[in-house]
Amino acid sequence: MADAGITPRQLAVRVGVSGKTVERWLADSELTPHARNREDACRALGVDEEMIWPQAVKDRIKSGHDRELVHSYPYRSACPSTVWSDLVSDADTDLFFAGYTNYFLWTQVPTFLETVRRKTEAGCRVRFLLGDPEGEVTRQREIVEDVALTVSTRIRITLEHLDRLGPLDGLETRFSAPEDAINHVSLSVFRFDDDALVTPHLARLVGHDSPLLHLRKQGDGGMFDRFAEHSEELWGRAKVRDPETGK
């Protein structure tokens, strides 16, 4: 303030606060004003925010598990297809598609079928956790969505694509258990080694209209691990699909 030639009262006028407010800022070094007031004060004094309120700057920097959120999208359809294709392509050890239908992958990811084949042949574990196309939750969801391309149809399209691959070592398909179906249909988790795309399904909305989070593992016990544990729990109780009958 001395360098800028501004008194506390003058600063208060420029920021639009009372003189007593500025006096409290001066008396309490740990007091952090509102962001807009900090911005106006720094502009009036001609200094960076870090010089006066360094803690406020540090608080905005992500650290630890906060860094696991790479990006968020208001709609799954807003996530570029290149994000999906790059994550699939870059994964080396674990691809886990725990969407209820996984239908959109065949159109969202270019040459997805051949990519799955190459990944399994290279030693990558590839898993598909699907909803039961004949299950009660699937039937109820079809009533809720009320769209031409029904949930069971979308599941069967995924199964048809998988059948084209034939039996492959490292490729596994399961149907979520009846007691887990409601939890499965309400939350889709797609894992690519240490990255994950997570979609919590909202009310009557289909998957592409629900939000999506891109997470990247930064340590144990973070958001990535929480969602990974959820999908692994569903997988552990799921029914293995019989390659002979397709059920």
pLDDT digits (tens, 9 = 90+) for 26-43: 998 778 888 888 999 999
Query: Does 107 share its domain with 209?
Result: yes
Q: Determine if the pTM surpasses 0.75.
A: no
CA distances from 219 to 63, 96, 199 (A): 11, 19, 21
Query: Does 75 share its domain with 164?
Result: yes
Query: What DSSP character marks residue 168?
Result: -
With 70 as the cut, is the pLDDT of residue 160 above it?
Answer: yes
Query: What DSSP character marks residue 231?
Result: H
Domain count, the chain: 2
d(CA 60, CA 221): 22
Q: Does some domain include residue 20?
A: yes
What is the domain range of residue 140? 64-240
With 80 as the cut, is the pLDDT of residue 65 above it?
Answer: no
Q: Does some domain include residue 53?
A: yes
Domain closes at, from 20, 44, 60 = 60
Q: For residue range 81-140, what is the model confidence (pLDDT) as tens digits?
A: 999 999 999 999 999 999 999 999 998 898 999 999 999 999 999 999 999 999 999 999
Q: Does some domain include residue 1?
A: no
The pLDDT of residue 207: 62
Query: What DSSP character marks residue 201?
Result: P
Q: String of b and e for 215-229 (b: at least 16 CB within 10 Å)?
A: bbbbeeebbbbebbe
Query: Does 49 share its domain with 76?
Result: no
Query: Does 100 share its domain with 218?
Result: yes
Which residue, among 129, 99, 98, 95, has the nearest Cα to 112 in the 3D structure? 95
Q: For residue range 183-213, what is the model confidence (pLDDT) as tens digits?
A: 999 999 999 999 999 999 877 666 678 899 9
Question: What is the domain-level CATH number for residue 104?
Answer: 3.30.870.10
